[in-house]
Structure 1
């Protein structure tokens, strides 16, 4: 009886279907590894070349430490690196959120009010033209030497690319779709949520990828101006004390943080944008 039960196959089963599904699952798991393999190999090659140059030319450690020395600095100064990473991460994340939020709100205002765009867009350009290293001391004098100027500077670096891209994205909505929505007596809010905002999302996420990495740079630059904590302050301390392995380790941590924020935005983009923008040749 048991043999007869096991011999009955499902009506819709096909030979090899289970193996095919397992192969598809394996391919999905290996796809990210295969896609990122060239980048991993390129980075490994650069690190190996760096190590060979330091060994071959006997470069002094205080000038350019070897990757092995940098790895030892990670092990020796792990607690210091971690304690200084958290403030920089907080400043960069808050600057990224607030800078982009203000940029998006201003972009919406500019699109719906041409007069506001003509009046305030040049001011945004002027603010962008001021070097951040010159703006940082002014902000320290205005808002103090706490976390506030670091967040503002990180936000300012994120602000302008998002503003420009978001304005362009909101204006890129199809005129035919806009006319159709008006014919259907859609309100301005309905046109915004159903036409303009979806059209702007590819532009917005393109700007957010730039802003994600720039926010880390802004936070670090802000920490150079009178801060006793954060990766920026640690870079200054390691430089003046000729602790090159620690300096390089701190730079690697900062670069890794920027890359992580970039990939977070990329993952969010894949979750939000589930369609492929049409290309016009």
Structure 2
């Protein structure tokens, strides 16, 4: 039993060491070559910006976190629900899936001004932009997982006169979970990008809004700190998806 936890612990230790080594190398390189702060601040100079009260790091980070999580949760719910509907009603899939493919081709930056006109400034337009970016991969991978069911299992359930709900609950859903979580991992990454796209276009709060504000004064340490916080939010969401995947999917069935 002790050996089972040694692998993940060792992997985590290696990841941590690599990240710490990058930070140390970054600090040493900036100090050794006397790189100006406005070009590339050191890790210490970057962290020091957290003490600047005017940047309101806490509230801005919270706003961006809500946008990311809201867009991702909405994308996961809509994507998985549509995939289930498509698996149960092939005609609906034939009609709607090409439409979703076309809509997904719309540049999300172009949607920003329209969403602002419809919903005004605030968190809601940014959640919708994050949703519009992240839901399509979840839809496609989940739909694929629901289709890839062993024919022998289907024949077995049908021979036992199992209902469609039994087929879905006992065969399709468990078999599709690796694909669902694979799509959710991609969606978690895209949700971060979507929220920041919305804040860059027009926003009054959030880390993206803060980056635009400090850009005019060449406060590069604050910009880098915002990027670091965004990265941590993305890592946290990705880690949450990984944790859920470990809970519901056996190791051999997980998608990379």
Relative to the length of structure 1, the TM-score reads 0.85
What's 1:70 paired with?
46
Q: Over aligned residues, Cα RMSD in angstroms?
A: 2.0
Deviation for aligned residue 1:118:
1.8
Deviation sequence 1:157-180 (CA, Å, 0-9, x none): 111100110010000111110111
What's 1:54 paired with?
30
The CA distance in 1 between the partners of 2:79 and 2:205, in whole Å, is 28
What's 1:147 paired with?
123
- Structure 1 SS opposite 2:252: coil
* Partner of residue 151 from structure 2, selected from 164, 170, 175: 175
What's 1:114 paired with?
90
What's 2:162 paired with?
186
What's 1:212 paired with?
188
User: Mapping of 1:11-160 within 5 angstroms?
Assistant: 31-77=7-53, 80-160=56-136
Deviation for aligned residue 1:52:
2.6
Question: Deviation above 3 Å: which 4+ runs of structure 1?
Answer: 27-33, 75-79
Give the structure with higher Rg (CA): 1
Deviation for aligned residue 1:190:
0.8
In the alignment, structure 2 segments of 5+ residues that lack a partner are none
In the alignment, structure 1 segments of 5+ residues that lack a partner are 1-23
Relative to the length of structure 2, the TM-score reads 0.92
What's 1:21 paired with?
none
Conserved 8 A contact 2:178-2:254: no
The CA distance in 1 between the partners of 2:241 and 2:23, in whole Å, is 27
Deviation for aligned residue 1:272:
1.3
Higher RCO (C-alpha under 8 Å, 6+ residues apart): 2
Q: Is the alpha carbon distance of 1:138 and 1:167 closer, same or farther for their aligned partners in structure 2, counting shifts above 3 Å?
A: same
What's 2:172 paired with?
196
The CA distance in 2 between the partners of 1:166 and 1:229, in whole Å, is 34
What's 1:15 paired with?
none
The CA distance in 2 between the partners of 1:225 and 1:66, in whole Å, is 29
